[in-house]
């Protein structure tokens, strides 16, 4: 009997008795896996070219598993009623994705955790075109850089879209519209990229259906049934990997438009409750109210976008991300696309610098219950190989090649940012603006001070973007108290100092941005 480590990928390769004209349209393959305790897990299979079919599964319990396949053409004995078994054994390595297990939503629905209860801090990177356009060696260089900087997630696009006509070899994942044809060769290349992410301990966050352009993006160009079929093919192909799904990319999902996406989400994910999924809306579009009651909708992803106007900053710091978290049912809240480093800002027409990027990240993590945030760099998201403006993104600025963009200082600053949060119980943080006696941003939103505290009142985390003096009401903290400053630009801590007053003023070390951690002993 074959042995498979817990949470690893188990794969069944089958050969059909005949070649089908358009397999994804004509027929379906599935399997039922039965766990050692008798629980059944349904899994979709997928066509992999010619007579080749594959079923992938990730076992979650140690012991003997069995399976049986079901094919819609019962006469095809190569695929129907195939039976087998394997033994799931304990994983003994140090890769956190297999050591701690699959990602799910915490019991209080504020953050993400592994199956063993270990909190999962989402530090994402947007490499939308990276999987499509990277060379083998280049992709490994990128992943090594990102994992060394503490990134835990890579967001990417799985199809042709407005910024890429296909992959580096000119392949597209599907052709047609009313009845699409799947190209397995495109996805075989993607298999390798996703597997390498997991090997590096990074979760893949694939966008199934980008949805901003009706000419190029499958989320708008395909009819509902074909969009569902394409997404379910991806679910079948990649659900055994450590992935978190982004169903729609960069679309308008509000109002009546949300009904279509609810329908697609239910059709794709219903029956697969262990899958984690969200939406990626257009900039400054808040869709939590549209989707919060959908069973498949696991967390609220949003995009604060690439603007730098006062209204843009206020939307992030005082708008929906700062207030919606109180509504029930709760969902983890993650900014999937703050401003990209070196991307030209919409209003000022100046490139976002590292400070603008880290400011948006700290704000995102502290104005909502802390779950995670995504970084982005101009040149990486579009995976440029020479300085140029990204395809169909006029006005965004000349992007540097990906191998230069990975060196941008902001990517190192978010490493430091993660280290700051990892130094205490970050998953217990909830916004606490009431602790700030006076908000410095009343006349200037650039000075917005974000304050959060842990639910046990043991820690207070503060981000000060402009070196402004602040006064905090610390009556709720247990005494005695200590504090120390954290430099977001180099990751260094100040010496610890006493906090003696219930109403105390804190003065940053200089006029730059600073984080402050206050804690009870």
Neighbour count for residue 144 (Cβ, 10 Å): 12
- What pLDDT digit, counting tens, does each position of 275-309 carry? 999 999 999 999 999 999 999 999 999 999 999 99
- 374 burial class (0-12, 13-18, 19+ CB within 10 angstroms)? buried
pTM: 0.98
- Output the 3-class SS for 289-327: HHHCCCCCCCCEEECCCCCCCHHHHHHHHHCHHHHHHHC
Of the pLDDT bands very low, low, confident and very high (cuts 50, 70, 90), residue 1 is confident
- What pLDDT digit, counting tens, does each position of 495-515 carry? 999 999 999 999 999 999 999
- What pLDDT digit, counting tens, does each position of 110-119 carry? 999 999 999 9
pLDDT at 185 over 80: yes
Mean pLDDT of all residues in the chain? 97
**CB of 380 closer than 8 Å to CB of 398:** no
CATH number of the domain located at residue range(s) 432-520 in this protein: 2.60.40
Peptide bond into 329 cis (omega under 30): yes
CATH of 3-92, one of 2.60.40.1170, 3.40.190.10, 2.60.40.10, 3.30.530.20: 2.60.40.10
* Residue 154 dihedral angles phi and psi, to the nearest 5°: -125, 125
Which CATH superfamily does the domain covering 118-424 fall into? Glycosidases (3.20.20.80)
Domains 3-92 and 432-520 share a fold: yes
Q: At 411, is the secondary structure helix, strand, or coil?
A: helix
Q: DSSP states of 73-139 as a string?
A: STT-TTTTT-EEEEEEE---S--HHHHS--EEE-TTSSSEEETTS-EE-EEEEE-TTHHHH--HHHH
- What pLDDT digit, counting tens, does each position of 302-330 carry? 999 999 999 999 999 999 999 999 999 99
Closest CA to 431 of 447, 413, 410, 453: 453
The predicted structure's pLDDT at residue 449: 98
- What pLDDT digit, counting tens, does each position of 40-98 carry? 999 999 999 999 999 999 999 999 999 999 999 999 999 999 999 999 999 999 999 99
- What pLDDT digit, counting tens, does each position of 463-484 carry? 999 999 999 999 988 889 999 9
Q: DSSP states of 432-480 as a string?
A: -GGGBSS-GGGS-GGGPPEEEEETTSSEEEEEESS---EEEE-TTSPSS
C-alpha to C-alpha distance for 29 and 363, rounded to whole angstroms:
46
The predicted structure's pLDDT at residue 365: 98
Instruction: Calculate what percentage of the chain has a pLDDT beyond 90.
Output: 98
Taking the CA of residue 246 as centre, how many other CA atoms within 13 Å lie in the half-sphere pointing to its CB?
A: 33
CA angle 142, 145, 148 (to 5 degrees): 145
Q: Kindly list the domain boundaries of the chain, sorted by start residue.
A: 3-92, 118-424, 432-520
pLDDT at 143 over 90: yes
The predicted structure's pLDDT at residue 147: 98
Q: Residue 515: enclosing H or E segment and its boundaries?
A: strand 514-520
The predicted structure's pLDDT at residue 17: 97
The predicted structure's pLDDT at residue 247: 98
- What pLDDT digit, counting tens, does each position of 421-478 carry? 999 999 999 999 999 999 999 889 999 999 999 999 999 999 999 999 999 999 988 8
CA angle 464, 288, 101 (to 5 degrees): 80
Residues in the chain: 521
The predicted structure's pLDDT at residue 476: 84
**CB of 384 closer than 8 Å to CB of 390:** yes
**CB of 202 closer than 8 Å to CB of 146:** yes
C-alpha to C-alpha distance for 7 and 145, rounded to whole angstroms:
25
- What pLDDT digit, counting tens, does each position of 333-349 carry? 999 999 999 999 999 99
pLDDT at 37 over 90: yes
Q: What is the DSSP letter of 427?
A: G
- Output the 3-class SS for 158-209: CCCECCECCCCCCCCCEECCCCCEECHHHHHHHHHHHHHHHHCCCEEEEEEE
The predicted structure's pLDDT at residue 479: 85
């Amino acid at each position: 009997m074959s042995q498979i480590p817990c949470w690893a990928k188990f794969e069944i390769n089958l050969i059909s008795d005949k070649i089908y004209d358009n397999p994804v349209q004509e027929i379906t393959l599935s399997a039922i896996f039965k766990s050692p305790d008798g629980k059944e897990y349904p899994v979709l299979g997928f066509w992999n070219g010619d007579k080749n079919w594959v079923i992938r599964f990730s076992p979650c319990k140690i012991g003997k598993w069995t399976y049986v396949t079901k094919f819609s053409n019962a006469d095809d004995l190569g695929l129907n009623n195939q039976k087998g078994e394997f033994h799931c054994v304990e994983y003994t390595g140090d890769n956190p994705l297999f050591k701690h297990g699959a990602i799910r939503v915490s019991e209080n629905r504020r953050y993400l955790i592994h199956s063993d209860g270990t909190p999962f801090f989402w530090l994402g990177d947007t490499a939308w075109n990276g999987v499509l356009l990277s060379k083998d060696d280049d992709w490994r260089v990128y992943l090594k850089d990102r994992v060394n900087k503490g990134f835990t997630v890579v967001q990417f696009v799985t199809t042709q879209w407005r910024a890429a006509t296909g992959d580096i070899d000119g392949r597209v994942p599907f052709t047609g519209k009313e009845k699409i044809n799947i190209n397995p060769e495109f996805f075989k290349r993607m298999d390798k990229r996703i597997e390498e992410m997991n090997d590096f301990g990074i979760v893949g966050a694939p966008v199934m259906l980008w949805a901003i352009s009706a000419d190029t993006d499958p989320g708008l160009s395909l009819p509902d049934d074909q969009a569902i079929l394409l997404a379910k093919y991806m679910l079948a192909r990649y659900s055994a990997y450590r992935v978190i799904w982004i169903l729609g990319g960069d679309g308008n999902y509000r109002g009546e438009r949300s009904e279509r996406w609810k329908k697609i989400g239910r059709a794709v994910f219903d029956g697969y409750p262990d899958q984690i999924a969200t939406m990626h809306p257009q900039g400054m579009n808040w869709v939590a109210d549209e989707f919060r009651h959908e069973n498949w909708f696991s967390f609220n992803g949003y995009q604060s976008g690439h603007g730098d106007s006062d209204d843009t900053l206020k939307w992030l710091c005082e708008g929906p991300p700062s207030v919606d978290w109180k509504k029930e049912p709760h969902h983890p809240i993650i900014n999937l696309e703050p401003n990209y480093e070196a991307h030209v800002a919409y209003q000022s027409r100046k490139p976002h610098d590292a400070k603008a990027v880290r400011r948006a990240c700290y704000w995102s993590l502290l104005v909502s219950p802390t779950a995670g945030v995504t970084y982005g760099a101009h040149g990486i998201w579009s995976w440029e190989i020479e300085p140029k403006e990204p395809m169909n993104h006029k006005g965004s600025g000349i992007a540097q090649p990906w191998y230069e963009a990975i060196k941008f200082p902001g990517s190192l600053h978010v490493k430091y940012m993660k280290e700051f949060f990892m130094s205490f119980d970050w998953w217990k943080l909830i916004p606490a603006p009431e602790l700030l006696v006076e908000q410095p941003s009343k006349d200037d939103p650039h000075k917005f001070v974000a304050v959060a505290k842990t639910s046990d009142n043991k820690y207070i985390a503060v981000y000060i973007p402009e070196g402004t003096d602040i006064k905090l009401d610390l009556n709720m903290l247990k005494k005695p108290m200590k504090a120390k400053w954290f430099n977001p630009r180099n990751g260094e801590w100040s010496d610890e100092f006493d906090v003696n007053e219930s109403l105390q003023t804190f003065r940053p070390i200089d006029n730059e941005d600073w984080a402050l951690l206050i804690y009870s002993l």
